Amino acid sequence: MVVPISLSNEATCNYDIIIDKLSNLTFENKVAIVTNPTISALHLEKLLSKIKANDIKVITIPDGEEYKTMQTVEDILGELFEFKFDRKSLLIAFGGGVIGDMTGFTASLYQRGIDFIQIPTTLLAQVDASVGGKTGVNNKYGKNLIGAFYQPKAVYIDPSFLSTLPKREFAAGVAEMIKMAVTFDRDFFEFLEKSDLSDEKILAEAIAKSVTIKASVVNQDEKEQGIRAALNYGHTFGHVVENETKYKQYLHGEAVAIGIVMANRLAVKLGFMKLEDEKRVLELLHKYYLPTSYEIKDVESFYEHFFLDKKSSNSKIKFILPMGIGEHIMPSNIEKSTVIDVLTEFGSNV
């Protein structure tokens, strides 16, 4: 299956997302593959058997969100300079979201921009991170605070890479699928409720559905000036959870699951969501053993954290809240006291 992305009239901004067994890929110029030791051990041999190029270098970076830093990007850039990469060379991101975000960011920076392609190997990267051109790194102030909008030349999604994915990471990817279903597509939500994603064909269908939603949103609003912000459902809260736990306790998708539950609580409080819909989402999260509770130690400090999150602007926080299931709303004037109430209730409910 092929999902097209068309960001503008310029041909350079259009690319395809191919969901299929990885085919043979041939490149005329130099290629560098960025990966980590885990993926390398499991799948690098297969990837290398598919790729022909003028010269191939494999750059292995440490595994984990804590290495998603400017320092790692500078290390990759250094290796590319030593390898005498030029403007016609190609970078390949081979791994999960961290690899994809950093490889894309590196491609955007190297000599003011070279081509790159995404070959995501985690469910989270396949359904979300690899599509849409958001690249970047974390720093001490928060997640993805330094980066670029930079689109790949193609995304190759091969679900067979997921056969080796740990269950917890698989579930973290499902959390992003649930995010898209709740905010954009009630049919897809019901599909996720009743389907068994351990069936490879059904899984491929669910991935294609998620990617189609994401592509449609990105095509409408690449730079997140409007509707794309809806993809941050669960993330405004989730980022604070990740930040407070120093990115060590939860996978990104797990923090998003917790954030979804918090956003739903707020939506119920404000009358945008019915209790029974809240319960259905909670049950779907539980179906994949995703975490849904979190102990908030200091509610005020949790609230303060929103203001450094990049999705906020001036002193108003734009929450993305579900309107029932399959639609969303982005109210911009929610009282602090309402949020504090929800957080207090949520945090003591562990």
Using the Cα atoms of residue 82, residue 87, residue 89 and residue 92 in order, give the sign of their dihedral. positive
Angle, helix 336-347 to helix 252-269, in steps of 10 degrees: 120
CA distance 69 to 254: 21
**Site for a copy of itself contains 87 (CB under 8 A):** yes
CA distance 75 to 163: 30
DSSP state of 157: E
Active site residue 168: no
Binding mask 110-139 for a copy of itself (x = CB under 8 A): xxxx--------------------xxx--x
Tell which positions 231-290 bind a copy of itself, by CB under 8 A: none
State in angstroms the smallest separation of the CB of 139 from a copy of itself.
8
Which string of b and e fits 249-263 if b means at least 16 CB within 10 Å? ebbbbbbbbbbbbbb
**Site for a copy of itself contains 313 (CB under 8 A):** yes
For a copy of itself, give the closer residue by CB, 73 or 155: 73
**Site for a copy of itself contains 86 (CB under 8 A):** yes
Among residues 30, 138, 144, 176, the one annotated as catalytic is 176
- C-alpha 157, offset from chain centre: 14
Active site residue 112: yes
CA distance 189 to 243: 29
Active site residue 176: yes
Number of residues this chain uses to bind a copy of itself (CB under 8 A): 37
CA distance 329 to 8: 26
Query: Could you tell me which stretch among 242-250, 279-287, 307-315, 330-338 binds a copy of itself (CB under 8 A)?
Result: 307-315
Query: Could you tell me which stretch among 143-151, 245-253, 280-288, 332-340 binds a copy of itself (CB under 8 A)?
Result: 143-151
Tell which positions 212-231 bind a copy of itself, by CB under 8 A: 223
Which string of b and e fits 83-102 if b means at least 16 CB within 10 Å? bebeeebbbbbbbbbbbbbb
What the block records as the tokens of 225 is: 């000036």
Among 2, 4, 6, 8, binds a copy of itself (CB under 8 A): 8
Binding mask 31-70 for a copy of itself (x = CB under 8 A): ---------------------------------------x
For a copy of itself, give the closer residue by CB, 149 or 289: 149
Q: What are phi and psi of 88, to 5 degrees?
A: -100, 0
**Site for a copy of itself contains 108 (CB under 8 A):** yes
For a copy of itself, give the closer residue by CB, 37 or 113: 113
Binding mask 145-174 for a copy of itself (x = CB under 8 A): xxxxx-------------------------
For a copy of itself, give the closer residue by CB, 86 or 298: 86
Q: Which residues contact 263 (CB under 8 A, 6 or more apart)?
A: 233, 234, 236, 237, 319, 320, 321, 322
> Would you tell me how many other CB atoms lie within 10 Å of the CB of residue 38?
16
Query: Could you tell me which stretch among 180-188, 278-286, 305-313, 334-342 binds a copy of itself (CB under 8 A)?
Result: 305-313
CA distance 209 to 203: 10
Among residues 30, 143, 209, 235, the one annotated as catalytic is 235
What the block records as the tokens of 308 is: 């450094």
Among residues 10, 82, 112, 201, the one annotated as catalytic is 112
CA distance 21 to 307: 43
Q: Which residues bind a copy of itself (CB under 8 A)?
A: 8-10, 12, 29, 70, 74, 77, 81, 84, 86-88, 108-113, 134-136, 139, 141, 144-149, 223, 307-308, 310, 312-314
Q: Catalytic positions, please?
A: 112, 134, 176, 214, 224, 228, 232, 235, 239, 252
